[in-house]
Amino acid sequence: MDMIHAAKFIGAGLATIAFVGSGIGIGVVFGNYISGALRNPGAAQSQFTNLYIGYALCELQGLFGLLIALILMYT
Amino acid sequence: MAASPMEQFEVKPLIPIHVGGYDISFTNQALWMCVVVGAVSLFMAVALSKRSVVPTRMQSMAEMSYEFVANMINMAAGEEGLKFFPLIFSIFLFIAASNFFGLIPGSFTVTSQIAVTFTLTALVIITVIVTGFIRHGFGFFRLFAPDAPIYILLFLVPLEVISFCARPMSLSMRLFANMLAGHTMLKVMAGFVIALGGAGGAYTLLAAAPEVLIVGLTALEFLVAFLQAYVFAILSCIYLSEALHLHDNH
């Protein structure tokens, strides 16, 4: 029984690695937006929606990891 | 030892009501939903009670939120999307207000319950499906088959179906997990302050570090609270736009 508990906590910890990908993704999204906006400031405003959609989609992948961690810890 | 960081998400019955074996108690969750809806309605009613050409501060706040959402729908779903303005506007204001009310210390975050976020998502997805079928009939299924050669469609159609089915889950999960993660993080940091402050000696001075961090994180949480409401509303607009225009327009 203790082994299962220990394994659950280790698994929950490992699941948080998902945020690595999420962090990289958000960095790419915002970095490319800013470099694009500096080259063509006129078009920057029109891409604002796309920026936040990209951000939301990247963030979701990390949050799935968090969810798995929570399921492992509390069930 | 400080309380568990997950304790803040507990739904506690305030007025127990049991009808026919079902527990329909008035909980702290219900109370805060009433507070949120009441506050938004009151704000709108007071701000727009004296309509003048030169708006007062409150009136211009109400007008700004109206224009913000109207522009967003116009951009994402086109002119036709404005028919759904009441739905999107209510959802946006409800989520934004409940996120902000959740940031008041000691309050309850309505959107940190997956039951609430999933109900909101179900509302949007059912609207999308019903709108799609009313406008296009069975042609709505063309949503799953974009213009592409047949051998690409073999792979594309299952992918489109999976992505359509994953939408309700991803939309509700995003809001729920963001609120849960943010508030848990604040509580964990607060736990550090209490633990270090109670440790005595030089450790007490160290307690200032997480305290400063909490201030920064709270500012970040305000950003997230607004951003998640915005993202939820804009994604709803995009799903509606797909149901309205299928793959033609965009």
Helix (H) or strand (E) holding B13: strand B13-15
Domain span at residue A50? Answer: 3-74
Q: Report d(CA B189, CA B186) in Å as an integer.
A: 5
In whole angstroms, how far apart are CA B186 and each of B142, B181, B183, B217, B220?
A: 46, 9, 5, 7, 11
Q: Report d(CA B22, CA B17) in Å as an integer.
A: 9
Q: What is the structure's pLDDT at B50?
A: 82
Of A49, A67, A74, the CB nearest to B76: A49
The size of the A-B interface in CB pairs under 8 A is 36
For the whole prediction, is pTM greater than 0.95? Answer: no
Output DSSP code: residue B4.
Answer: P
Task: Indicate yes or no: CB of A53 within 8 angstroms of CB of B170.
Answer: no
Task: Indicate yes or no: CB of A60 within 8 angstroms of CB of B231.
Answer: no
Report the number of distinct structural domains present in chain A.
1
Interface with chain B: mutation pick from A19, A48, A53, A60, highest number of B CBs within 10 Å? A60
Query: For residue B173, which residues of chain A lie inside 8 Å, CB to CB?
Result: 60, 63-64, 67
Q: pLDDT by residue for chain B (250 residues), tens digit each? A: 456 777 788 888 888 888 888 888 888 888 999 999 999 999 999 888 887 888 888 888 889 999 999 998 988 888 888 889 999 999 999 999 999 999 998 888 899 888 999 999 999 999 999 999 998 888 888 888 878 888 888 888 899 899 889 999 999 999 999 998 889 888 888 888 888 888 777 888 888 888 899 999 999 999 999 999 999 999 999 999 888 887 664 4
Q: What is the structure's pLDDT at B248?
A: 62
Read off the CATH number of the domain in which A35 is found: 1.20.20.10
Q: Report d(CA B35, CA B41) in Å as an integer.
A: 10
* One-letter-per-residue 3-state SS of A28-68: HHHHHHHHHHHHCHHHHHHHHHHHHHHHHHHHHHHHHHHHH
Under 8 Å between Cβ of B186 and B218: yes
Q: What is the structure's pLDDT at B242?
A: 87
ipTM computed for the complex: 0.81
Residue that the structure tokens 């009501």 belong to: B17
Under 8 Å between Cβ of A36 and A3: no
Q: Is A43 on the interface with B (CB under 8 A)?
A: no
Interface with chain B: mutation pick from A63, A64, A74, highest number of B CBs within 10 Å? A63
Q: Is B181 on the interface with A (CB under 8 A)?
A: yes
Q: Is A53 on the interface with B (CB under 8 A)?
A: yes
Exposure string over B68-102, b if 16+ CB within 10 A, otherwise e: ebeebbeebbbebbeebbebbbebbbbbbbbbbbb
